[in-house]
Amino acid sequence: MSARNLPGDVLAVGRRQFLKLVTLTAAAVALQACGGSSDAPTTSITTDATRFPQSVASGDPKANSVILWTRLGGLDANTDGTLRLQVSQTADFATVLVDKEGLPAAAAHDHCLRVKVVGLQPGTRYFYRFLVKTGTNTQASSRTGRTKTAPDAKANVPVKYAVTSCQDYIGRYYNVWAQVLQAEPDLDFILQIGDYIYETTGDPSYQTIGTSRKVTFTDTAGAIALGSGSNTFYAASSVSNYRDLYKTYRSDPILQRVHEQYPMIGIWDDHEYSDDCWGATATYTNGLIDEYNPPRRDRAEQVYYEFMPIDDPIITSTAALNKDPSTLWPNNVLYRRLRFGQNLETVLLDYRSYRPDHLIPEDAFPGKVVMSAPVLIGVLGQAKYDAVKLSFGPYVDTTTAPWANYLQALVPVLAQGYIQAGFAANLAPTKATADLTGLVSAFVFNQLVTQFNAAVNAGLIPGATALPLIDQTTYDALPRGIAYLHMGKQAFFSELGARYAVVQPTFDLYAQYMQATGQYNQDPLGEIQRQFLGNALASDATFINVISTVSTAPLLWNLSTATNLPADYQTIFKPNVDQWDGFPQGKQALLETLANRPGAFLASGDIHASFVTTHKTPAMAMPVADFTGPAISSGTFNNFVESAIAGLPGLDATQKAAANQALVLGLDQTLQYSAPTDEPIIFADTRAHGIMIFSVTQTQTLIDYLLIDQATVATDLTQNLTALAAQFSKKSFRLNPQTGVVTAI
């Protein structure tokens, strides 16, 4: 759905206003009887969750400041509210450092409020609460939140924090968060590195539907309808839609307690806007329609800032300022760095906002040749090309005779295929003409000829005569090149062979060629963010934890010796090129940059699995570790692979069983075995939910993976914490800052 087709009212809020970030300075105030001066009557304060339905949250802790958040409930949608904030070093608020009334909870922002409190002490725990006047001498209070500032940059103190991602709500429970609350009560902060929410109301391809854990939009007219008939579900598009998501997720009592107990540092990935997005472009229809939608992207970002306790770099004074809407996409800057004492700098990178499209478009014509024989000879050299050319495919040039004579017949055949796949009938002939003009796979060419001849023989094309196929002698003599088909693109308008399950040798060769010729820029960060990263790596902290929302783990399915599968499957696949594997040279450049800085390491998520990778190539100064964390609750990587295999074309029951054995039952071992020797995956778990806990000192970083089996996610286990704890296992690793070496412990 394009922006121009959306109802006008869903565009209204984002460009006119943005949530204020109010800044207050801490200064001790002695309160008496919770009411202020001794002459004032006693004020009765009662905790009232209905007035604060999403409770409270804090985030982006610095040595002298922190962001505090709440949302005021119980007001008419068009009525502004005001709140009072109190901050203290004790939970009883005997001495209050901040006591400020009249803070705006504006209707224009769903009564959300962000407050930046400055003038705090480093490395100190604080308690806070929001109050709303309910009577002459009565006030309702939020539950008390607890937060902690960062230690001074020169303080040699240990730092302990969690890294988490992917917390789907629909049909799933936050058992992992409940375990963190009881096992790790004193974490300094949490890094939430993407997919805090999922933008759909129940996508059957990855969400569990039909349970009480569901999301319902109040504004379905402003949403994007997906699926069909009784299987229709919705993706968020309006401001109201995105707000419904955050309010529903934050209605969960366990997630509320997490926010009440720990400051959270957030960065978005894709689902905060749209699954597998790049910039402002969604991918729901795999190219059937243009999904470039900047207004929708801006609305998603507006609501993210409304509901997440995110700092704003433009706030440098004590004034109340508006965030300029012009700083939303494509001008947003959410990437940032935070310092925690002498030993840790965290650097959060934004992978989605500035990246290019996937190298292989979802609407790519499988028969389009993208590397001809002359191109391949130029890249490989004549001798190597001759040695491997049989692994490529023969092709014809439809701008030359005799193949040009076929176009009039074959264009309608291809156009009809596009229409049957759901493409617009008025656009299909133009696309088919463009796709068939030029170098075309001879295999696909013959398929189209066969389809045309079948229609002729059935009498469906009056007056037409059958066309000759490319005969075997001619076929064998044709030049050979790489078409999208040879990189795994088997179907029209599909993510398979585009974002997922691409053939590794041909994909990497094509990526190298496109990068070298300047036709494709493998830089998902963008020039300004790369400069930011370079500056951050100059930090004098012992460790620098670089956050990439997606993994750099080199995931491969090596089926080259799987003789029980069809020949087309006997190769090496990259299962996911939506992550860094889709930018081979770009990933290598990132790793080489990090390798020049001892103590730099990666933490990542998105893939719903646990991986520990130690990258080391001859061009790298030292190893670079990537600790990829599991999902809190979203379907596991193993689940996705199992679903994908069930839908693979061209496999009989026996072959699907063989694929299931290699790629589902033995997935962890397959991935570890397949990884290149210079990038070993030393730990893999594709079945468990969980979280990563990092403990940083001057001499080492310890990483604990807290893991729980995927089967537990559909059941609420939070009422019996002893039984819940027994469900968890732990895998631990040690990272040496000077050598980059990771060891299991």
Token pair belonging to 40: 């004032």
Among 249, 266, 130, 161, smallest CA distance to 201 is for 249
Contact 203, 226 (CB under 8 A): yes
3-state SS assignment for residue 607: coil
pLDDT in tens, 568-603: 889 999 999 999 999 999 999 999 999 999 999 999
Rounded to an integer, what is the distance from CA 670 to the centroid of its chain? 24
Contact 709, 687 (CB under 8 A): yes
Q: Is the per-residue pLDDT at 659 higher than 70? A: yes
- As beta bridge partners, residue 84 has 131
Q: Is the per-residue pLDDT at 155 higher than 60? A: yes
What is the reported pLDDT for 167?
A: 98
Percent of the chain exceeding pLDDT 90 equals 84
pLDDT in tens, 558-571: 888 888 888 888 99
What is the reported pLDDT for 324?
A: 67
Among 678, 641, 677, smallest CA distance to 660 is for 641
Domains and CATH numbers, the chain: 3-150+238-322 (2.60.40.380), 369-494 (no CATH), 521-744 (3.60.21.70)
pLDDT in tens, 205-233: 999 988 999 999 999 999 999 999 989 99
CA gap 540, 153 in Å, rounded: 9
Token pair belonging to 359: 């190298």
CA gap 738, 581 in Å, rounded: 27
Which range (210-219, 308-317, 440-449, 455-464) has the least confidence?
A: 308-317
Among 221, 224, 225, 218, smallest CA distance to 240 is for 218
3-state SS assignment for residue 233: strand
Q: Is the per-residue pLDDT at 30 higher than 80? A: no
What is the reported pLDDT for 164?
A: 98
CA gap 703, 687 in Å, rounded: 19
DSSP state of 425: T
Token pair belonging to 504: 């590794």
Token pair belonging to 331: 């001008």
pLDDT in tens, 525-541: 999 999 999 999 999 99
Among 199, 195, 188, smallest CA distance to 264 is for 188
Q: Exposed/middle/buried for 374, CB within 10 Å: 0-12, 13-18, 19+?
A: exposed
What is the reported pLDDT for 37?
A: 43
Token pair belonging to 700: 């080492």
Question: DSSP letters of 253-313?
Answer: HHHHHHHHHSEEEE---STTT-TT-BTTB--TTTTSS--B-HHHHHHHHHHHHHHS----T
Amino acid at 352: R
Contact 15, 325 (CB under 8 A): yes
CA gap 679, 625 in Å, rounded: 9
Residues 6+ apart with CB under 8 A from 340: 150, 151, 159, 161, 188, 189, 346, 696
Over the chain, what is the mean pLDDT? 92
What is the reported pLDDT for 323?
A: 57
CB atoms within 10 A of CB 434: 12
What is the reported pLDDT for 400?
A: 98
3-state SS assignment for residue 602: strand
**Average pLDDT of the residues in 123-140:** 97
Sheet of strand 65-71: strand arrangement: 321-322, 20-25, 112-118, 65-71, 56-59, 263-266, 189-192, 159-164, 688-696, 701-709, 729-735, 742-744
Amino acid at 549: T
What is the reported pLDDT for 662?
A: 81
Residue with tokens 């993510």: 495
Task: Tell me what percent of the chain is helix, strand and coil, each rounded to the nearest 5.
Answer: 30, 25, 45
Among 14, 577, 16, 578, smallest CA distance to 293 is for 14
Contact 120, 656 (CB under 8 A): no
**Average pLDDT of the residues in 195-209:** 95
HEC states along 524-556? CCCHHHHHHHHHHCCCCCCEEEEEEEECCCCCC
HEC states along 371-422? ECHHHHHHHHCHHHHHHHHHHCEEEEECCCCCHHHHHHHHHHHHHHHHHHCC
Among 173, 207, 176, 198, smallest CA distance to 690 is for 176
Which range (318-327, 490-499, 510-519, 574-583) has the least confidence?
A: 318-327
pLDDT in tens, 593-642: 999 999 999 999 999 999 999 999 899 999 999 999 999 999 999 999 98
What is the reported pLDDT for 643?
A: 85
Q: Is the per-residue pLDDT at 656 higher than 60? A: yes
Q: Is the per-residue pLDDT at 36 higher than 60? A: no
CA gap 413, 396 in Å, rounded: 18
CA gap 602, 596 in Å, rounded: 14
What is the reported pLDDT for 317?
A: 38
Q: Is the per-residue pLDDT at 311 higher than 80? A: yes
CA gap 165, 588 in Å, rounded: 24
Q: Find the angle CA(279)-CA(281)-CA(283) to the nearest 5 degrees.
A: 125
CA gap 694, 684 in Å, rounded: 18
Question: DSSP letters of 630-679?
Answer: PPSSSPPHHHHHHHHHHT-TT--HHHHHHHHIIIIITHHHHHHHHS-TTS
CA gap 350, 193 in Å, rounded: 10
What is the reported pLDDT for 322?
A: 52
Contact 151, 63 (CB under 8 A): yes
Rounded to an integer, what is the distance from CA 379 to the centroid of its chain? 34
3-state SS assignment for residue 477: helix
Query: Which strand (E) or helix (H) includes residue 475?
Result: helix 472-477
Query: Which strand (E) or helix (H) includes residue 182?
Result: helix 175-183
Reported pTM: 0.94
CA gap 568, 576 in Å, rounded: 18
Percent of the chain exceeding pLDDT 70 equals 94
CA gap 556, 706 in Å, rounded: 25
Which range (565-569, 645-649, 732-736) has the least confidence?
A: 645-649
CA gap 265, 164 in Å, rounded: 10
**Average pLDDT of the residues in 231-244:** 97
